[in-house]
Structure formats: structure tokens, C-alpha cells
């Protein structure tokens, strides 16, 4: 079957949504600020009128108005990763790509010093890295990862002249723009897909740590499998997450080099799982290697950035689909909104299916394993979640 894309991250749409969101929700007392966000043309012309036996044409008059593109004041931007590092090919990688996109658009200074990238090896690096950003004169500091939230909440009030973008966490601080994502919506559809593709009747998942930004994927995935079972009368089993206890299988690390990462995957493969969702940076890669070493017909589900393109070419045959998350677009949109003069603090952007900030990638190498019927069902699942036809107690985000 030909590979299909039905729900995907519309990069321009998400950046536009971020600019509009931050521009108009940050300061409700100022109704005089207008931020031009995109070129817009409006053309009006008089109509041609036709009656039976007679044609009357009024010469058209056309008026075209075009708004100028955004005007940016380039900002000195500093980016701090959590301890998964920028090479996680996931949320840190996507966030840094967002900073580079802002530099390319003229919203961020790109002079060999800025933008600054500081990679954290552990939580002990968070505070000194932020202090380094401040000492360098950064005007906008981006931190990615839920675990950096508490450190930002300490430093942001002490440095009110600096704008902060906090990815994967919300904030009410006056100078912090939070971004959170209802990724269980897309993960639900991925779970349904996995249940429809599995040949063993067993699918699995595991995460780096049981923190909200990881657990939300596991929870939505397991619920999607349960929905498939309910609709189809099947009994596909999920390893690695228990919806009732909100607990499951975790490696305790985001470092893919740790032996426990591959051992976790190997254990699930030994139990018969043939579709696995690993969540936590590049901890999916040892699982891909294990699948290839065994020579089995098994697949992985990626997260955040489309794994088929983000990960190495040698793994392209293992990706069934990726649960997409518009981290790059969120970072770019936040910086561009600040560079346009928008007040950004005291709010949190919530990305979901409705605003195209979460979604599913193409099936890529596994397109032949997804029937047209199943693909249509997954598309309908996504539409029903967005419309509210399918509801559940979604993972708490943005509260």
C-alpha cells in the first residue's frame, strides 16, 4: 500500500498559532499592539451578471492590500537542554532546531557567539548553565524538558528583563512562556494502529522516567490498544504500562548507552511483543538494534520528531509511525513572537490535535503492513478525538 499521511505537524501553522497565542494572551490590558504575522492579500472585484438571452458584464475593479511580513528585532538566545542532550534526536534536538530556525528567520542573533547551546549531563548542570546564559547577556533563554521547570521558576523572577521559553511545562511567571502538549491524543491513535498491526497479539512500551511528559505517551498508547480491543472484540495485550496504577516499565535513564535500555527492550521482545513504543530520547535505538540483530518482523513507534528522518538511516526499516510533537515549531514561534514585540509571559501554550501541534507521521517502510481499512480507521480515530466523539480522562496537561 502507498504510504499515507493524514494528520501531521503543519510547521507554518504551528508557528503562526504560537505567534498569535503569545501575542494576544500575554497582556490583556494593551489592545493597541498589532503584530503582523504573515503576508495577506485581499482582492475584491465586481461580478459578471448573466440573464437569459442577455449578458451584462461590469468591468471589474480590483483592490489588493498586502501586509508586510513580521519585523524582528534579533534576540540573543541561549538554549539549555535537559540531561538527554541535544543528540537525543527527540525533544532536545527538536528544540535546538527551533532555535536555529528562529536565527534563520532573523528573530535570533546568529553571530558565532549566539545562539548559545548548553547541554546538560545531569540535573546538577541546570543552574550553572542558566547562570552562564545570563552572564553572556542572553535576552531569551529556552529550556527544554519538564525537569528544568523548577530551575526556571527560581531564576525567571530574579531576571525579569529576560524572556524565557519553557518547553514541556507550564508557568504563570510574568516573563515565562510555557508550552505543553496533549500527546496522549496522538498516542491513543498510535496504540490503536499498533493493535491493528501486531501479529503476536502483544505490544509494549517503556520510558526513561515516570514523569508526566513521558508517561502521557504510555498512557494514551495503552488506552488506544484498549479501544481497539473494545471495538474489534480482540484481546491485544500491552506490556509496560498499567492505566489503573499509572505505572509501568522505566529504564531510569535517558542514556541509550546504559545496558538496562537494551535489556528492557529484549525482555519485552522475549515476552512476544512485536510493536514497541520507547519514550525518552534515543533510548529507542538499542531496541531497534535488538530487533535487527534478531532478524524478526517487529517495529518501533517513535516520538517527537519523525524518527524515520531523525534517526540513522540504518534504522529506517523499524519505524511503524512516529507520534509527532511540535516542539521545534513551539520554540520558533515563541522566539519570533518575542522578537516581534509581543508580551509573552504568564501563559502556557497547549498543543493538541485541534491546533496541529501533535499528530502522526507517515508509515514509511511499514506502509505495506497497514491496510487501507486500518489506515482509514486510524484517521477516523484522530478525527473523533478532535471532535470529542471519543473521550476519556486525558492525562493532566496545562492545569
Q: How far apart are CA 165 and CA 171, in angstroms?
A: 10
CA contacts within 13 A on the Cβ side of 105: 28
Q: What is the SS3 assignment for 385?
A: helix
Going along the chain from its start, the domains and CATH numbers come out as: 184-326+357-387 (3.40.50.2300)
Q: How far apart are CA 83 and CA 148, in angstroms?
A: 10
Q: How far apart are CA 360 and CA 362, in angstroms?
A: 7
Q: What is the pLDDT of residues 317-366, one digit of tens each?
A: 999 999 999 999 999 999 999 999 987 666 678 999 999 999 999 999 99
Q: What is the pLDDT of residues 149-195, one digit of tens each?
A: 999 999 999 999 999 999 988 887 889 999 999 999 999 999 999 99
Task: Give, in degrees to the nearest 5, the angle at Cα 331 between 37 and 336.
Answer: 30
Q: How far apart are CA 292 and CA 315, in angstroms?
A: 9
Q: How far is CA 297 from the centre of its chain?
A: 28
With the CA atoms of 128, 132, 134 and 138 taken in that order, what torsion angle do they form, in degrees rounded to the nearest 10? -140
Helices 11-25, 327-339: axis angle to 10 degrees equals: 50
Per-residue confidence (pLDDT) for residue 14, from 0 to 100: 61
Q: What is the SS3 assignment for 351?
A: strand
pLDDT exceeds cutoff 60 at 242: yes
335 contacts: CB under 8 Å, gap ≥ 6: 75, 77, 98, 99, 102, 107, 108, 140, 142, 165
Q: Which of 57-61, 160-164, 185-189, 273-277 has the lowest mean pLDDT?
A: 57-61
Q: Any idea what DSSP says for residue 108?
A: B
Beta strands 163-167; 176-181: pairing state: parallel
Per-residue confidence (pLDDT) for residue 34, from 0 to 100: 23
**CB neighbour burial string for 327-363, b if at least 16 within 10 angstroms, e if fewer:** bbbbbbbbbbbbbbebbbbbbbbbbbbebbbbbbbbb
pLDDT exceeds cutoff 70 at 27: no
Task: Give, in degrees to the nearest 5, the angle at Cα 392 between 387 and 397.
Answer: 90
CA contacts within 13 A on the Cβ side of 37: 23
172 contacts: CB under 8 Å, gap ≥ 6: 346
**pTM exceeding the 0.85 threshold for the entire prediction:** no
Amino acid at each position: 500500500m502507498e504510504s499515507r499521511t493524514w494528520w501531521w505537524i503543519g510547521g507554518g501553522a504551528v508557528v503562526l498559532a504560537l505567534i498569535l497565542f503569545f501575542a494576544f494572551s500575554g497582556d490583556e490590558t494593551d489592545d493597541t499592539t498589532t503584530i503582523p504575522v504573515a503576508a495577506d492579500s485581499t482582492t475584491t472585484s465586481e461580478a459578471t451578471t448573466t440573464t437569459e438571452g442577455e449578458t451584462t458584464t461590469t468591468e471589474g475593479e480590483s483592490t489588493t492590500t498586502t501586509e508586510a511580513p513580521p519585523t524582528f528585532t534579533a534576540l540573543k538566545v541561549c538554549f539549555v537542554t535537559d540531561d538527554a542532550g541535544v543528540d537525543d534526536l527527540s525533544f532536545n534536538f527538536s528544540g535546538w532546531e527551533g532555535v536555529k530556525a528562529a536565527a534563520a528567520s532573523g528573530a535570533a542573533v546568529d553571530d558565532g557567539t549566539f545562539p548559545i547551546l548548553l547541554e546538560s549531563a545531569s540535573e546538577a548542570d541546570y543552574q550553572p548553565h542558566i547562570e552562564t546564559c545570563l552572564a553572556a547577556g542572553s535576552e531569551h533563554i529556552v529550556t527544554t524538558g519538564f525537569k528544568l521547570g523548577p530551575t526556571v521558576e527560581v531564576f525567571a523572577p530574579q531576571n525579569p528583563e529576560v524572556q524565557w521559553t519553557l518547553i514541556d511545562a507550564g508557568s504563570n511567571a510574568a516573563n515565562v512562556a510555557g508550552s505543553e502538549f496533549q500527546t496522549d491524543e496522538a498516542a491513543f491513535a498510535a496504540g490503536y494502529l499498533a493493535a491493528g498491526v501486531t501479529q503476536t497479539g502483544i505490544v509494549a512500551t517503556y520510558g526513561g522516567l515516570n514523569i508526566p511528559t513521558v508517561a502521557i505517551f504510555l498512557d494514551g498508547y495503552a488506552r488506544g490498544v484498549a479501544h481497539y480491543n473494545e471495538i474489534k472484540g480482540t484481546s491485544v495485550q500491552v506490556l509496560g504500562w498499567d492505566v489503573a496504577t499509572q505505572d509501568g516499565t522505566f529504564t531510569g535513564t535517558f542514556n541509550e548507552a546504559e545496558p538496562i535500555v537494551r535489556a528492557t527492550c529484549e525482555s519485552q521482545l522475549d515476552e512476544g511483543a512485536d510493536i514497541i513504543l520507547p519514550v525518552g530520547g534515543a533510548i529507542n535505538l538499542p531496541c531497534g538494534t535488538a530487533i535487527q540483530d534478531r532478524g524478526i518482523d517487529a517495529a518501533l513507534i517513535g516520538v517527537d520528531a519523525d524518527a524515520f528522518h531523525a534517526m540513522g538511516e540504518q534504522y529506517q526499516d523499524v519505524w511503524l509511525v512516529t507520534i509527532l510533537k511540535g516542539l521545534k515549531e513551539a520554540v520558533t514561534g515563541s522566539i519570533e513572537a518575542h522578537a516581534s514585540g509581543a508580551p509573552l509571559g504568564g501563559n502556557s501554550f497547549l498543543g493538541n490535535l485541534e491546533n496541529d501541534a501533535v499528530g502522526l507521521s507517515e508509515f514509511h517502510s511499514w506502509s505495506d503492513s497497514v491496510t487501507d481499512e486500518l489506515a482509514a480507521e486510524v484517521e477516523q480515530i484522530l478525527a473523533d478525538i478532535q471532535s470529542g466523539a471519543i473521550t476519556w480522562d486525558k492525562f493532566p496537561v496545562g492545569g
